[in-house]
Amino acid sequence: MITAALARSLRDAGLRWHPATGDRFVIDKPGVDDDVYTVSEMTVERHDYPTGTVLGFNGTTEWALDSVAAAESLWLPREDQLRELLGPAFVSLAAAGSDFVVTATIEGASRTFTADDAAVAYGLALSAYITAALS
């Protein structure tokens, strides 16, 4: 799983989240950003309003938390979501000892991104891809 810091850099680079069932997130506020939640019709449900998307906590999931605006949440994309977001830029994923190496084509050049977690390597590649696309 990617870190909140990497998720924050992806968001700041321009990655937008449209909450869907199965998505993981944290509440992006100091002191409450350690708990990871999953969007699910059973526990955390997406509610769309004209003013924005709200993530509602059903039942007794969190005794002190009824809902939180999606804008106050930080999406932690899964490995498969990161790979899909890389789209045609994705070239390969390979193991290198205990690390994972993602190769992506960014601005016409082949670049590699290495991390001890495949999702983190994908996240680093996606961050570079988004940043290059917006510059």
Mean pLDDT per 10-residue segment, the chain (135 residues): 94 91 89 81 76 74 61 93 97 97 97 98 97 89
Sign of the alpha-carbon dihedral angle for 117, 82, 86, 124: negative
User: What's residue 9's pLDDT?
Assistant: 94
Strand partners, 112: 103
User: What's residue 41's pLDDT?
Assistant: 67
The order of strands in the sheet holding 37-38 is 37-38, 24-27, 73-75
User: What's residue 59's pLDDT?
Assistant: 60
User: What's residue 49's pLDDT?
Assistant: 85
Q: How many Cβ atoms sit within 10 Å of the Cβ of residue 133? A: 12
User: What's residue 67's pLDDT?
Assistant: 66
* Domain ranges (residues) in the chain: 17-75, 79-134
User: What's residue 90's pLDDT?
Assistant: 98
